[in-house]
A and B are shown apart, each in its own frame.
Chain A
């Protein structure tokens, strides 16, 4: 599976935008870019995913570079509830990966009041 690289940690202030980067230079043409987050003492939670075009949903936006070698998860106005570990994961249904998510270390996001 293609790997992703994320910063270990980031900090933000409440109500400010947060841009969480992810590098995936070995991404293949059929890899989807998924973001999940895990709040303290909870199970992982789906945030957003995309293939080539930028995506928006009620939780966040996903900006995908034109060459697809990197992407950025954007939280438009961080709240204290957004403090979590954010995981950027590539998912390809081909081969043996089907729907299996492989979690890396993720980015620990701290939100200050």
Chain B
């Protein structure tokens, strides 16, 4: 049973380019969460999605960032016109359906974005 798969593991972009990070949740998981970890900082929640729905995007920067989780295929975190401050590790997590305080999140290994 494969875990949460993220790709690419490492991505280098020049300022102004677009970055697309993909996340395939664990089998049977329908909830996806994206977190960002800036260098030497903690993990910050960005967005929570279910299939075809954004449930909570309270942690997403107002501009340039978007996320989707289509009916088919992986969840995608898209960063347009990247800037150096976007350089970070982006982690995806998934959890089973249902709302419970006992929900356990399974994290991927992360995608490390470097903006030159």
A42: chain B residues within 8 A (beta carbon): 109-110
- Complex formed: what's the CA distance from A27 to B100 in Å? 16
> A17 contacts the other chain (Cβ, under 8 Å)?
no
B101 touches A45 (CB 8 A): no
> B25 contacts the other chain (Cβ, under 8 Å)?
no
Interface segment out of the listed A8-16, A58-66, A68-76, A96-104: A96-104
Query: How many A residues have CB within 8 A of the partner chain?
Result: 27
Cβ-neighbour of B45 out of A32, A38, A102 (below 8 A)? A102
User: Please, what's the 1-or-0 string for B10-53, where 1 marks a CB less than 8 Å from any CB in chain A?
Assistant: 00000000000000000000010101000000111100100000
A103 touches B33 (CB 8 A): no
Cβ-neighbour of B102 out of A44, A49, A94 (below 8 A)? A49
> B2 contacts the other chain (Cβ, under 8 Å)?
no
Query: How many B residues have CB within 8 A of the partner chain?
Result: 26
Cβ-neighbour of B101 out of A32, A36, A96 (below 8 A)? A32
In the complex, the chain A residue whose C-beta lies closest to that of B48 is A100
A91: chain B residues within 8 A (beta carbon): 101-103
In the complex, the chain A residue whose C-beta lies closest to that of B102 is A32
Query: Which of B48, B104, B108 lies at the interface centre, i.e. has the most chain A CB atoms within 10 A of its CB?
Result: B104
In the complex, the chain B residue whose C-beta lies closest to that of A34 is B104
A-B complex: 7 closest residue pairs judged by Cβ atoms? A43-B107, A32-B101, A99-B103, A103-B43, A93-B99, A93-B101, A44-B107
